[in-house]
Structure 1
Amino acid sequence: MTDPRIAIVAITKHGATQAAQLAAQLPHAHIVCAEKFAATFAGLANPLRAYTAALRDEIGPLFAAYDQLIFFVSLGAVVRLIAPHLKSKDGDPGITVVDDAGQFVIPVLSGHVGGANACAEQVAALLGATPVLTTASDVGKTIPVDILGRELGWKVEAPKLNITRVSAHVVNGEPIAFVQEAGSPNWWTRPTPLPASIHRFERFEDVDLARFKAVLWVTRRAIDDTLWQQLNERLVVYRPPLDEAAP
């Protein structure tokens, strides 16, 4: 997996100081800053763009060019800046905000699919700051239905409505059947135990569907339309790559 395209954006003196500290630890990240603070980044290897017009004029190109945007700008200002450019969580970059003092790191947009939550935790660790996560599955330390196994190469297979419905069941602590017939067993990477509401099975046939609100199924089997219809918004399937080890 290639490194994400990251831009670090700063518009104030204190923000530029914090941004320089972060950029020194992320040498592949690009820096975008107000021209009058460009000297703050002298000596760093990071590519630098010093803009002279308004920051709002930079946002469109930034959205197009980067996977992660880390702003040392107030949260309210960032929300107003990015609002005209938002399209979908599947296409928008991850947006993270850091306060001028470098105390708090907040993922604002595309936390899961766009990777802003993971970015915020990485940035917080590098700055000695506190990540402020609001995504329910992260706060509740449970399964992120929409990106489960992504770092292992798993592909999610389900209508978007299923993902929304099943995610709600998961974060509400309702009983979930997790069936793993393929792929690596090392998919649970949180330091906390798997929530008690998640029940693991090795075969789909072992699941009493009447007992569970939803099914998360890691498999290489073909699933026919009849089963999708039977489970009616309760099923999300994950497809591991063919070269991944079985459980």
Structure 2
Amino acid sequence: MLVALTRHGAAQAATLARAWPDAHVCVAAKFADALSACGDRVRAYHGAFKDEVGALFAGYDQIVFFVSLGAVVRLIAPHLKSKDEDPGVLVIDDAGEFVIPVLSGHVGGANECALRIAEVLQAVPVLTTASDAVKTIPVDILGRELGWRVEAPKLNITRVSAHVVNGEPIAFVQEAGRLDWWTRPTPLPANIHCYDMLEEVDLDRYAAVLWVTRRPVADDLWQRLSERLVVYRPPLDPRPST
């Protein structure tokens, strides 16, 4: 959903809507003429926009605001639940120069959405998520585009993410799944040490272990590593296409 509260914002939303034919647009009725080409994708509202926010949060995965960051923070604050439930929220400044993920950057996909928008608008994506800022492994969504499923308590994910972004030594053990999981143009950070089997790892040397496997994880291993282990479950390898 693209949200425009000003005439200038409506013009920018129209530009983005042309590039995204599936995107809907929410705009003040008095500025809806700028989006006439979008047809039934336009949701024109009357009255106070704050009354629209709840329905947008419930109905859309990504909400892109063409308005100031401060205004967005105040508008969405009463509707926040958790990063597992909230949609991705992004802000584009009035000049269309910067695209800022505000909410649910990783889990909600706002960071990825920001990169796509920035390409269309020739804008600068401003990613403040720690793993993006330091160009390292995003522990909570690693391999998501490859179908990997993360298996660990939330506390583990939080603690291990901190170890990763702080540059502490991390053992990355990959026993299954596709090898093209590292998609950044920069090399893998020096604090990430790769192994083919868990048995190769001296577990006492590392602040945390990221383990990509289909093997069961023994209870005593969870206990030994405590909050230092995150496991990823890749899907079965697909059959070759014919």
Same fold (TM over 0.5): yes
2:235 paired residue number: 241
Tell me the TM-score normalised to structure 1 length. 0.95
TM alignment of 1:44-193, pairs within 5 A:
44=38, 47-193=41-187
Given that 1:27 and 1:46 are in contact with CA atoms closer than 8 Å, whether structure 2 keeps it comes out as no
Larger relative helix fraction? 2
Tell me the TM-score normalised to structure 2 length. 0.97
Alpha-carbon distance between aligned partners in 2 of 1:59 and 1:244, rounded to the nearest angstrom = 41
Q: CA separation of 1:198/1:45 partners in 2, compared to 1, >3 Å: closer, same or farther?
A: farther
Alpha-carbon distance between aligned partners in 1 of 2:207 and 2:234, rounded to the nearest angstrom = 23
Match of 2:220 among 215, 226, 239: 226
- Identity of aligned pairs, percent? 71
Alpha-carbon distance between aligned partners in 1 of 2:144 and 2:10, rounded to the nearest angstrom = 33
Describe the superposition over 1:141-166 as per-residue Cα deviations: whole angstroms up to 9, x where unpaired: 00000000000010000000000000
RMSD of equivalent CA atoms: 1.0
Match of 1:22 among 16, 19, 44: 16
Alpha-carbon distance between aligned partners in 2 of 1:45 and 1:126, rounded to the nearest angstrom = 21
Unaligned runs of 5+ in 1: 1-6
Q: Which amino acid aligns with 2:117?
A: V
**Aligned-pair CA distance for 1:21:** 0.5
Please state whether the residue corresponding to 2:22 is helix, strand or coil: coil
**Structure 1 residue runs of 4+, over 6 Å off?**
none
**Aligned-pair CA distance for 1:211:** 1.1
**Aligned-pair CA distance for 1:225:** 1.3
Unaligned runs of 5+ in 2: none
Count how many residue pairs are aligned between Structure 1 and Structure 2: 239
Please state whether the residue corresponding to 2:227 is helix, strand or coil: coil
Given that 1:178 and 1:200 are in contact with CA atoms closer than 8 Å, whether structure 2 keeps it comes out as yes
Alpha-carbon distance between aligned partners in 2 of 1:36 and 1:126, rounded to the nearest angstrom = 26
